[in-house]
């Protein structure tokens, strides 16, 4: 495995870095279209507004997915695993196509790891992604409050979308279905899964109904 970068104890191969960057860019484009309201509405934002919305999407949804996957990798490596992110290019294409239709289905890929793991260790790796999203939601809270205090619409929007997207991703990924993280977490600890899922879902509802989002 050729290494492009090494950050502390974590190695990222050339292919992994490429896949992470492609997934980040593709999801940024997909969420730009989605936030704009679908394909027909994107044309109305051509120009500076579209560029601003793309930047906001990359910094909110793009970063949310990127750090979610890196969190899985970090915990897996700490348990002695060989772990790498692999993008699913067909799913990235689907994310953009679904956004054009006014909804979004985003499953950019997954961190693949090999080596023996206990059920507890599998659970820790799985829950790392949703926990990262909850942490990011907290990080975006002062961004939102600062934007409100300074009356800066762009900062407000960045904070709003950063909070809502991260809370939603935490809740969504904890659904115990298919390849989502929830199935692995619930197999390890039902109380941990239940508490984290209910917290994420409740905060998502509160943020969605409280924050008055206005796309510029």
Q: 87 has which bridge partners?
A: 109
Question: Among residues 11, 16, 69, 84, which one is catalytic?
Answer: 69
69 is catalytic: yes
**Residue 184 neighbours by CB distance under 10 Å:** 18
- CA 116, distance to chain mean position in Å, is 27
The helix or strand, by DSSP H or E, that contains position 182, with its residue range, turns out to be helix 181-188
Separation between Cα atoms, residue 124 and residue 120, nearest integer Å:
6
DSSP-derived 3-state class of residue 97: helix
Catalytic site positions: 69
């Amino acid at each position: 495995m050729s290494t492009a970068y090494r950050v502390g104890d974590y190695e990222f191969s050339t292919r992994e870095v490429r896949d992470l960057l492609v997934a980040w860019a593709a999801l940024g484009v997909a969420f730009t279209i989605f936030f704009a309201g679908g394909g027909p509405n994107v044309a109305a934002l051509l120009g500076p507004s579209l560029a601003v919305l793309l930047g906001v999407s990359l910094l909110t949804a793009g970063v949310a997915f990127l750090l979610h996957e890196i969190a899985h990798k970090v915990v897996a490596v700490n348990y002695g695993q060989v772990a790498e992110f692999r993008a699913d290019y067909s799913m990235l294409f689907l994310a953009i196509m679904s956004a054009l239709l006014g909804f979004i289905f985003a499953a950019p890929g997954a961190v693949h790891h090999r080596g023996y793991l206990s059920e507890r260790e599998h659970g820790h790796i799985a829950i790392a992604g949703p926990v990262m999203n909850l942490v990011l939601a907290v990080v975006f809270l002062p961004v939102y409050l600062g934007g409100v205090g300074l009356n800066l619409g762009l900062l407000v929007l960045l904070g709003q979308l950063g909070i809502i997207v991260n809370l939603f991703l935490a809740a969504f990924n904890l659904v115990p279905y298919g390849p989502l993280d929830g199935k692995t977490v619930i197999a390890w600890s039902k109380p941990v899964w239940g508490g984290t899922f209910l917290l994420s879902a409740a905060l998502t509802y509160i943020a969605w109904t409280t924050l008055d989002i206005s796309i510029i």
